[in-house]
Structure 1
Amino acid sequence: MNPAFPMLRAATLPQPLSVRPCPKAARPLPLLLAALGACSAVPQVYAADAADSGNTPTTLSALDVVAARNSAAAAPTQVVGPNRYVIKAGDMDADIEGNNGLSRLKTVPGASYTATDGLGLDISPTSLFVRGFRMNEMGITFEGVPLNDNGFLSLTGTSVVNVGVPDSIGSITVSPGASPVSVFSSSANGGALEYRLAELKDTPSLRIKQGVGSNITRVTTVSGQSGQIGENGPKLLVDLQRVTADKYQGGGTQKFLRGDLKAKQDVAWGDFTLFLSGSHAEVWGYNNISFDMIRKLGWRADSFYPDYAKAYYVALPENKDKPCGAYTCGELAELLPYDTGQVTTDKIASLAHNFRISPALSGNIQFYNANSHTQATLSDPTTPSPNGAPFSEQVQSPHLNRMGGMANLSFVMGKHTLTTGFWQEKSKAAAYTAWYTEPLLGQGKPLKTVGPWDVYGPAFKTENESRWVTRSRQFYLHDDVALTDTLVLGMGFKAVDFTTTGGGISDAPDRPVFGTLRAKSNFLPHVSLFWSPTAKTDAFIDLANTMNSFRAAQRGNIGYTASAWTITDQDEFDRVAPTLRPEKDWNLTVGGTHRFERVTVTADVFYSDIRNRLLSAAIGTQFAQINTVRLMPKMHVIGANLGVTTDLTDNLQFYQGVAFARSYYDRDFVVNDTVYPIKRNAQPGYPQISLVSDLSAHFGDWRFGATSTEYLRQPFT
């Protein structure tokens, strides 16, 4: 980040919104899976750069070439309801082994996925947009467990990147416009993603996959099913995956271990299902870069690691005004850290019971616990080590524990299918920032960004210690009415109540702010109409009102989030808090699908009216940010999507997806006497035009194909 300029980050994603370098080398190359020319970026919002770079047309391109032993068609989605699609395991053949769960959406019309590395292991910049809403603004569940806010360093949710083994995902149900009222989440302003593992089978099986690729990439996946154990015993599914890779530029490695278990026991009236997930990642990350850095240093301006001597020289106070290439050494030290990264550990346990009381009445109950622990690290030249080393290792350590439960009932009565449910969750989160001593040059090995960090003693400085408690409740009632054999009317609503209390816990005069924010609505309607006049045609209209909770983040957060708790002092918080209102949106989608003999066409248009979006203004560097927040009273998202799947021959299929979207602010962003001119500007990071092309051939049990993804005019405002 350029410390010479104040910057406005006008978004709501709790991650560093940074322009990331594009890998010119090939992406990781698993066995029989080659990905060529992959490029990804997520925009950093710089007020100083906006004048000459804000309207720069930007194209992000990716080409995936695959071969897989599966004969599934390449069409990426299947319509299963109004504004509701399903992606099945066979539709994800084009995904590289080890790729994260968000990347599975990249061929959905209207979706925009970006990451800094080929497998999306570095979660801090990984981003997914669907119809103008980021992943942390969507309702996301995994095996029925609400994941809530999916952003980096989230204090209310779990990243789907760290849940389960992506290669064992059996289906993803996508609601791209508005989340159904039955999806439980405290962050569902936009659509919904519902992940399920593969179905349990009656016969045992074992599958071992080994992927190899550039940058010493190794992906090992073991998946097994027990089949039916005994005459009336359970069925088990176990998956384990280990991923290791070097960064494609700069030094450092990326290691990821993840696994899951699913066990199902049938009983006379239903079944019981146990779900367990665990993951541990140690990742050297990529550096944030600005437009000015790209112009002066190029795309490959990464951290100094493993060149400790060079980082040491650049950061020495006596070299501050000396030239270091395009910048002075003092400027360069604040732009290029010695290292950066994260260590994450996530665990989920869930027990669900599906039951059927009568042919017309059924339901389920589910209880779960989710635990997340993260250490986000960054070499900090603004805080020298006590021994005289010119920088130290800054470690932010948020951790979160969530416990919750839900119950759902479904009742069929004539032409009506009534569903109702209730969800309650309590989460406890804590976070603090600590600084650890780096060695003097030549007097010991430098600290590793993934730890241990106390090699030269305990933390010499600790700040921003904070705790929060969040209580989430949601009730819904929905009725699907079969007006005719071909026309279904959906009517329902949900009531939500999200309360977060917490903040700084120390007695120091400069402790982080403390307070309570509540988002509550007793009536958020959702109406849809689904028409299937023939077996080949579906059409729908879908309208919903949504609300999310206030996000929590610690002061001085390395990642970015629009949170009132990042405000610098208590007086400012007390002044701003009464003016805040929870974000409340209206999402409208109209679309349809028609299946010709050899061609399937899917199209829709959508509009979102966004009220009271919380934006954050951050001034300073990535090492010491000064934040405040304000409401953006109104925003708009408007767009259209078209997907065409053509069977060119019995063995050759082509898919072309085109998506247009425009997300913009209604007014400038004003903080005290400073005006950030963002009126009519596009929301950062969301491409105006997306093109997805897929060509696949089927021969026996094999599928060969290539997928090209183009994001045109991605705004960096």
Structure 2
Amino acid sequence: MTSRKIKSQPFGHFPTSNMDPCKRLSPGTFTRLGVHLPALLLGLGAHAVQAQDANAASTVSVAGDASPQGQTVPVDNHAKDSPVTLKGVDVVASPSGAGMAAIQLVGPNEYVLNRSDLDGALSGNNALALLKNVPGASYTATDSLGLDISATSLFVRGFRMNEMGVVFEGVPLNDNGFLSMTGTSAVNVGVPDAIGSIDITPGTARESVFSSSANGGGLVYSLANLKDTPSAEISQTYGSNKTLVTTFSGQTGKLGANGPEVLVDLQYISANKYQTGGTQDFLRGDLKAKQDVSWGDFTLFVSASHAAVWGYNNLSFDMIRKLGWNADIWYPDYARAYQMALPENANASCGAYTCGQLSALIPYDTGQTTNDSIETIAHHFRLSSSLTGSVQLYGAQSKTSASLADPTTPSPSGAPFSEQVQRPRVNRLGGTLNFTYNVGDHVISAGLWKENTRSAATTSWYDEPLLGEGEPLKTTGPYDVYGPAFQTANASNWRIRSQQFYLHDDYAITDKLTLGVGFKGVDFSTTGGGIGPDQAPFGTLRVKNNFLPHVSLFWSPSTQTDVFVDIAETENGYRVAQRGNIGYTASAWTVSNQEEFDRVAQSIRPEKDWNLTAGATHRFDNLTLTYDAFYSVIRDRLLSAAVGSQFAQINTVGLMPRMHIFGADLGLTADLSNHIQFYQGLAVARSFYDNNFVVDDTIFPIKGKAQPGYPIVSVVSDLSAKFQSWRFGATSTEYLRQPFSYENDIYVPNFWQINTYASYTLKSRGAMPEWSFRLDVSNLFDRKNIGTSTIAGSPFSGDYQTLQRSAPRQLMFTVSAKY
């Protein structure tokens, strides 16, 4: 959708967050949900507020290791002399730390983050963490840079990242979830430090955002613009846990009088885990080249990444209470894990649990390797002064090996456990075609997308050695050191055909009022499933709808005020996951057998959502107020509740006829002086189910309950300052009342975290480059928070091993040189 840019200015913004530990979460008890509004220190000012909420359904009491906690997320903020427009946002602080951030309203419920707004982001952070400033966004991760995609989570106004339309350099990424069978994770595409802009529509994705998973908002990533002159930047970050981030970005400028322009980015990250053994290594890079021609240009984009990540063990509230916050994998202590898993020790005492119980809760190792690549060529053309268009062809490949030591399946060698490995493989080939026609007061756009996807998955078990007779397997591979897999299960493959077309008109009724009207049509067909002897479910599901309308109105009655209304209907394809999938994906193919799949296929219907957002911004001389309210009605959502262990997860799948999400965002930005800016944001979002969840003859009482995993209240405070070459910032983020289970009998303890930063820039002189020095401290008070709480899905009720803590205090020091 084409939109007019408003004179909204950048605004300082929010931090990252982690969540409060399970300080008290025991079913049946009322929880005191203290609201700790950030205390922003460091000489920039102080701000503290407390409130109470006595309506929690239960408390979880977690003793162990430590200290009361709740945490906040910091973000960067920086605004200069111009007033700042802050859109109220439900923000989740990124584990990176406070940095300069800005967001601009550019259309009805449409925002943009530009490169200058992202310069304050911590080097090495992932592409999802950059969205902490987005209205209604909630981001959490277990490690400080979000390298472990299994424990990285993003919600925007109640929609998870795999329920949003995400595009990178024109390429649809589709389902962004861990172990996705239809898409590519944004964490594994490009170098985040090189992202030039992010176009965000938090309420609903625009018709022109091509995706098979766009129930909610849209995210459109673009790399930095190519320049005519050469440039280069090198940065090195040193941090806690032996973290090293090395980044290179360079542009050739125009090669020759009429030659192409080329951009290259490369980043290598190496870090130790902050507890127990294991490393996290990530190599990613991208290349973009553009050749201008008289009628347009040709653009080539290539992205590739490889990650080898040792993960953190999933926890439950009971585990935190009895074992403490550092309960993690046994690696590298193979002997201890081995002895504990021996059958003869099953009933022996190993502290708070028997050895058999503890072996089932804590594996020897866990982690994953990922290899992702995208290649695309696009041609932008101009047919006349009023008619332009583009055509793009792309290919995308993703390979993942997610592993953990499995004590429920002993090795043929006699070792008491084996290495279980889930291997999704995804190959996508597609193309897009777009046209834009300017005529009178109308800007008419139309487009078509087609994609064919072939995906496959299998679960394999590999032999571990007897104690003392060889090196144990590594969670990042290779796995066939002691021979090929001795057992396989859930071998499956699918073929997915996706098609979308759209038509949209932006009509400038007056200079101050623009009406947007359009629609899209979708057709998603998926055939596949089990192909192995254990007969995982197999079948075909199709979604087709030729008319999904979208209407918006954008009004600027004065240069100080903007008002908008935006409403759209969406419909997505059925989600695909293999049986035994580790994660939260609700898919008909994850059920236990063919009979259950056939039953589910008869009753389910494709999810349809209506998303409505209305908002306004008013700019005073030194103060900006922003408010928006939103409502979504979600019909026929497929829910999946997790039962069983992490070694053999079972998903119970059923249809929820209707659920609702409503909320509001309020933001206040004040320029306290020419050098200091303060932001205060409050976001409230409440979801509820219209009916109980029924599986066969069992009724689960979730009517009126809130969606698990998404905080109902978010409070963000940010203070930033700039004095000549110095910049400082501190951000506090708090998440309150986050349901843990579908029945809401347990809530995740409040999350509170403060992130801070200080930087100094030495301007270039002569041949000397511009030098920058920056210190980031995330989780300043070293509070214990729960990061992502729905890693393996959500239980119907009670406790479940599906959450992970967020990182303790992390220090990062970055030196960069810009040429």
Tell me, yes or no, whether TM beats 0.5: yes
Q: Among residues 586, 596, 601, which one is paired with 2:620 in the alignment?
A: 596
Superposed CA deviations along residues 210-250 of structure 1, whole A, max 9, x for unmatched, are 00100000000000011111111111110000001111112
Query: Cα gap change, 1:453/1:90 in structure 2, threshold over 3 Å: closer, same or farther?
Result: same
Structure 1 match to 2:688:
664
The 5 Å alignment of 1:299-338 reads 299-338=325-364
Q: Among residues 124, 139, 151, which one is paired with 1:125 in the alignment?
A: 151
The 5 Å alignment of 1:578-589 reads 578-589=602-613
Structure 2 match to 1:141:
167
The one-letter amino acid of 1:517's match is L
Query: Cα gap change, 1:157/1:314 in structure 2, threshold over 3 Å: closer, same or farther?
Result: same
Q: Among residues 72, 85, 89, which one is paired with 1:62 in the alignment?
A: 72
Structure 2 match to 1:101:
127
Partner of 1:593, secondary structure, is strand
**Higher mean displacement: 599-608 or 383-392:** 599-608
Kept after mapping to 2: 8 A contact 1:37/1:61: no
Q: Among residues 656, 664, 677, which one is paired with 2:701 in the alignment?
A: 677
Do structure 1's residue 623 and structure 2's residue 623 form an aligned pair? no
Partner of 1:226, secondary structure, is strand
> In 2, Cα distance between the equivalents of 1:269 and 1:617?
54
Kept after mapping to 2: 8 A contact 1:42/1:115: no
The one-letter amino acid of 1:106's match is K
The one-letter amino acid of 2:273's match is K
The one-letter amino acid of 2:221's match is Y
Structure 2 match to 1:204:
230
**Higher mean displacement: 271-280 or 324-333:** 324-333
Superposed CA deviations along residues 367-405 of structure 1, whole A, max 9, x for unmatched, are 110000000001100000001100000001001000100
Kept after mapping to 1: 8 A contact 2:678/2:718: yes
Partner of 1:136, secondary structure, is helix
Query: Cα gap change, 1:60/1:530 in structure 2, threshold over 3 Å: closer, same or farther?
Result: farther
Q: By how many angstroms is 1:454 displaced?
A: 0.9
Partner of 2:254, secondary structure, is coil
Structure 1 match to 2:239:
213
> In 2, Cα distance between the equivalents of 1:610 and 1:705?
39
Superposed CA deviations along residues 280-300 of structure 1, whole A, max 9, x for unmatched, are 000011111112212222222
> In 2, Cα distance between the equivalents of 1:667 and 1:51?
25
> In 2, Cα distance between the equivalents of 1:656 and 1:373?
42
The one-letter amino acid of 2:401's match is Q
Kept after mapping to 2: 8 A contact 1:546/1:585: yes
Structure 2 match to 1:476:
502
> In 2, Cα distance between the equivalents of 1:423 and 1:265?
24
> In 2, Cα distance between the equivalents of 1:264 and 1:700?
37
Kept after mapping to 2: 8 A contact 1:502/1:515: yes
Partner of 1:332, secondary structure, is helix
Structure 1 match to 2:772:
none
Q: By how many angstroms is 1:430 displaced?
A: 0.4
Q: By how many angstroms is 1:104 displaced?
A: 0.6
Kept after mapping to 2: 8 A contact 1:55/1:715: no
Partner of 2:598, secondary structure, is helix
Q: By how many angstroms is 1:36 displaced?
A: 11
Kept after mapping to 2: 8 A contact 1:109/1:643: no
The one-letter amino acid of 1:435's match is W
Kept after mapping to 1: 8 A contact 2:123/2:237: yes
Identical counterparts, % of pairs: 65
Kept after mapping to 1: 8 A contact 2:77/2:719: no
Structure 2 match to 1:20:
none
Query: Cα gap change, 1:263/1:681 in structure 2, threshold over 3 Å: closer, same or farther?
Result: same
Kept after mapping to 2: 8 A contact 1:210/1:218: yes
Structure 1 match to 2:481:
455
The 5 Å alignment of 1:286-301 reads 286-301=312-327
TM-score, scaled to structure 2: 0.80
Structure 2 match to 1:696:
720
Q: By how many angstroms is 1:354 displaced?
A: 1.0
Kept after mapping to 2: 8 A contact 1:264/1:273: yes
Q: By how many angstroms is 1:562 displaced?
A: 0.7
The one-letter amino acid of 2:599's match is R
Query: Cα gap change, 1:107/1:69 in structure 2, threshold over 3 Å: closer, same or farther?
Result: closer
The one-letter amino acid of 1:207's match is E
| Number of aligned residue pairs | 678
The 5 Å alignment of 1:166-181 reads 166-181=192-207
The one-letter amino acid of 1:102's match is L
Choose between structure 1 and 2 for higher RCO, CA contacts under 8 A separated by at least 6 residues: 2
The one-letter amino acid of 1:307's match is D
Partner of 1:440, secondary structure, is coil
Structure 2 match to 1:550:
574
Structure 1 match to 2:538:
514
The one-letter amino acid of 1:342's match is Q
Partner of 1:322, secondary structure, is coil
Kept after mapping to 2: 8 A contact 1:614/1:630: yes
**Higher mean displacement: 494-503 or 102-111:** 102-111
Partner of 2:71, secondary structure, is strand
Q: By how many angstroms is 1:695 displaced?
A: 1.7
Structure 2 match to 1:39:
18
Q: By how many angstroms is 1:42 displaced?
A: 11
Query: Cα gap change, 1:631/1:549 in structure 2, threshold over 3 Å: closer, same or farther?
Result: same
Q: Among residues 644, 648, 672, which one is paired with 2:668 in the alignment?
A: 644
Superposed CA deviations along residues 658-700 of structure 1, whole A, max 9, x for unmatched, are 1110112222212223332222221111111112222222233
Q: By how many angstroms is 1:701 displaced?
A: 4.9
> In 2, Cα distance between the equivalents of 1:42 and 1:138?
29
> In 2, Cα distance between the equivalents of 1:711 and 1:116?
16
Q: Among residues 377, 398, 402, which one is paired with 2:428 in the alignment?
A: 402
> In 2, Cα distance between the equivalents of 1:42 and 1:391?
31
> In 2, Cα distance between the equivalents of 1:299 and 1:277?
37
Kept after mapping to 1: 8 A contact 2:17/2:139: no
Query: Cα gap change, 1:107/1:50 in structure 2, threshold over 3 Å: closer, same or farther?
Result: farther
Query: Cα gap change, 1:512/1:398 in structure 2, threshold over 3 Å: closer, same or farther?
Result: same
> In 2, Cα distance between the equivalents of 1:282 and 1:611?
39
> In 2, Cα distance between the equivalents of 1:254 and 1:55?
38
Gaps of 5+ in 2: 1-13, 32-55, 61-68, 85-99, 742-819
TM-score, scaled to structure 1: 0.91
Do structure 1's residue 161 and structure 2's residue 187 form an aligned pair? yes
Kept after mapping to 2: 8 A contact 1:56/1:715: no
> In 1, Cα distance between the equivalents of 2:217 and 2:401?
30
Kept after mapping to 2: 8 A contact 1:42/1:114: no
Partner of 1:62, secondary structure, is coil
The one-letter amino acid of 2:607's match is E
Superposed CA deviations along residues 385-444 of structure 1, whole A, max 9, x for unmatched, are 001100000001001000100111111111111110000000000000110011111111
Query: Cα gap change, 1:75/1:119 in structure 2, threshold over 3 Å: closer, same or farther?
Result: closer
Superposed CA deviations along residues 557-615 of structure 1, whole A, max 9, x for unmatched, are 12331111111111111122111101000000000112222222221000000001101
> In 2, Cα distance between the equivalents of 1:531 and 1:354?
31
Query: Cα gap change, 1:41/1:228 in structure 2, threshold over 3 Å: closer, same or farther?
Result: farther
The one-letter amino acid of 1:78's match is Q
Do structure 1's residue 530 and structure 2's residue 554 form an aligned pair? yes
**Higher mean displacement: 192-201 or 696-705:** 696-705
